[in-house]
Each structure stands twice: as C-alpha cells, then as structure tokens.
Structure 1
Amino acid sequence: MSTDARLEAGLSPERPAFFTDAIFAIAMTLLAVELKHPGDRQLASGRALWGFLVEQRNAYLAFASAFVLLWSVWRRHHELMDRVRRLSKAFAFWHAPFLLLVAFLPFPTAVIGASIGNPMAQTLSAGTMAAMVCCEATVKEISVAAGLAVAAPATIRHQADASWAVGLWFVLSGGLAWVLPYAYVMWFLAPVAAAYGGPLLGRVRARRAAPGA
C-alpha cells in the first residue's frame, strides 16, 4: 500500500492546496473590484479623468500594497505545500483562520483606500495583515514540528521567522498610526523587516534552544 493510500481521510495535501489557491485568487481579484470606476463626468475629458485618478491615488496605493502582500504570502505557501506530503489536524485547522483573513483583506484595503490617514483604518488593515502572516508562520511552525515536510525544514523555519518579524512590524505600524499619520509607509518596508528581523528571531530561537540556555 502506498503512503498516500495510508493517509487519514481529509489529510491529503492536494485539496487544501487547490482550495487555498482559489481563495487567494478570489481575494486578489476582489482587491481590484473594490476600486472605484470613473463615471460619465470623469470620462468627459482627459483632464477630468486625470483629476479622478489623482483623487483615487490612495486607493491604488492600498491596492498595490495588499496585492503584493497576498502574492508574497501565496508564493511562500505554494513552496511549503510542494514540500508537504501529508497534513496533520493542527496544520489543517490553522488554515481556517489563515484563509479567513486572506478572504477578509479586501475589506480593510477598501477602507484604507477611502481614508488612508484615518488611524482606525490603518489599525484595521495592519491588524488584518499581521494576523494573516502570523497564521502563515504558525502553519510553517506546525509543518516543521510535526515532520510534515519532506525536505528543507531549516528553510521553512527561516521563512516562519521572517513571517513572525513581518507580523510584529505590522503590529508596530498599527500602534504608531495613532501618533503618526503616515505610519502606513512602514508597510512597504515589510521586506526589510523580514530580511533583518527574521534572522534576528532565528538567533533568539537558537539561543533559547541551546543546551544550558
């Protein structure tokens, strides 16, 4: 009997991977659907249309930041699922809040696009993104701890550290939004937080795991 045949029902990786791809595709499409379309008055002349596009610049900025985040999270999840040959119940369970937040992201993105300087709007958006990447990190942690991945556990753990760092970065931006109106600019520095914060968290993890620590 093959390994796949011995898998417990509902714990094969293919269907969750396809379902996750579908949720990401829908969420990324809805980001664009939420953008306002110009009306007849805005289409009456090039100047009027240009004025409309300038007026909607914050919505386009919010769209771009959310799209890039979803793309990067989906790409890392794709890499993870290519390495996973079986699931655990915990791994499957954590996909529920993870995908819930992915599906919800178009809403705070529309809110932030309509009122980008509003601290509550920034906190809602940053909190959603932070929770999403932390769920992503949790899924990766489970895959390593339960031995679900067939290869590269060190790489997966490194990616989890980067996701934790980005999550903390978004939380920080949400807090600063109440004192800094342009705190959302920090979102575009998330790759820097991953590049430097991830290795830092990895060193902290290694130090805590070292004998005698």
Structure 2
Amino acid sequence: MMSDAKQPGGKAFWRKVAVPAMFGGVFGFATAFALGSFADGRWVGGLSTSAEIALIGGGLYVMIALMTLIGTLNPKAGARYLNVEDAGELAEMRTVLVNSCIAMALWGAALVALALAAPGPVPAPLALASALVGLLGGAVFAWRSWKLSDELMAAVTTEANSLTALLAFAVLGGWGMLAHLGYLAGPQPLDLLTGLYALSLLATFVTVARRGMMRLG
C-alpha cells in the first residue's frame, strides 16, 4: 500500500506537490500577464511578438530565481513551496542554490535586455552589452554552483545540459527544417534564444523527475 506521502489524496501530496504546483501556476500566469501588459504599455509598446515572448520568458526566469532565492535564504518558508525534504536541506544547499539563483536571474535579465532592444526602448549597443554581461556573469555563477555541488547534483546538471542539447536539436532543428521546406514560418533570431531558455527549464524538470527527486513528502 502506498504511504500517505505518495498517495495522490494524501496530505503530504497536497502540501508538497499540488499546492506548490497551483501556486506556481498562478504566480507564473500573474507574472506573464504583468509582463505582457508592460510590453503593451506606453513605455515599451511596439514590440514584436517574438520580443514580447522573450520578455515574458526572461522575466519568468528572473522571478523564479528570486522566489527560489527567497526560499533559500529563509529555509522555513522555502521548505513549504520548494522541492526539498525540509528546511535543513535548504540550509545545507544554501551556497549552491544562491549561486544557481544568481545565474538564473542574470540569464533572465540578459533575455529581457535583448527583448527590449531597438526598435524597443533600449538602444542596440546597450542591449548587447547588458546581454553579454548577463550571459557571461550567469555562466560564472552557474560554474561556481556546479563546482560546489555534490556528486548527485553535478550529475543532474550534466544530464539536464545534455537533454537540453537533444531537445534543441529536435525542436529548434525540426522547426528550421520545416520552415526551410515551406511548411512553417521560419523562426526569428530571438525565437531561437527564447526556445533554448524554455527547453533548458523543461530538460531540468524532466531530469529531476527521472532521477526520482520530485519530493512528495
């Protein structure tokens, strides 16, 4: 018989999976709506569809990083909505997670800068400089996080990166192939970058699930 922690109707399931999932869905929708409204507002208006999607994607990266960072710095609160056993696990992983959150926030900010580039409100040279700082800075903090990770987390990172590459080849490569043959409209340059961001998140989720690391209680 399944324990209460693993039963879909168990209290632990609702506390560790269903409630955080619903919270994440509402939070994600609210963030996307706010960013979409910002993109259509008087200060930004005129962005292309690709730029708006990139803005939302980058903004979600930043917000996810901030929410995770808040939970990491406040383990008692973080244990309620992050995928961990308890507050003690967050305390043990604090340095790794802080570096990872900073990397994610910088990468998200880089995509936001590119989304706002001319003909948006940010001049192209400034957007390029901001994006390079974000991407390279994020890489430094991601490397620091990986170096501080234990063997399991380092393996998860490697697997997620490999899966991201495979998904990118299949999804983005397939899109390019069909566009070349005239079956689909070709991707805009910014679409490719936004796609990599989205596939990276998907690959991480799949890898964590395959490793049996989705905490149910």
TM-score, normalised relative to structure 2: 0.37
TM-score, scaled to structure 1 = 0.37
Larger Rg: 1
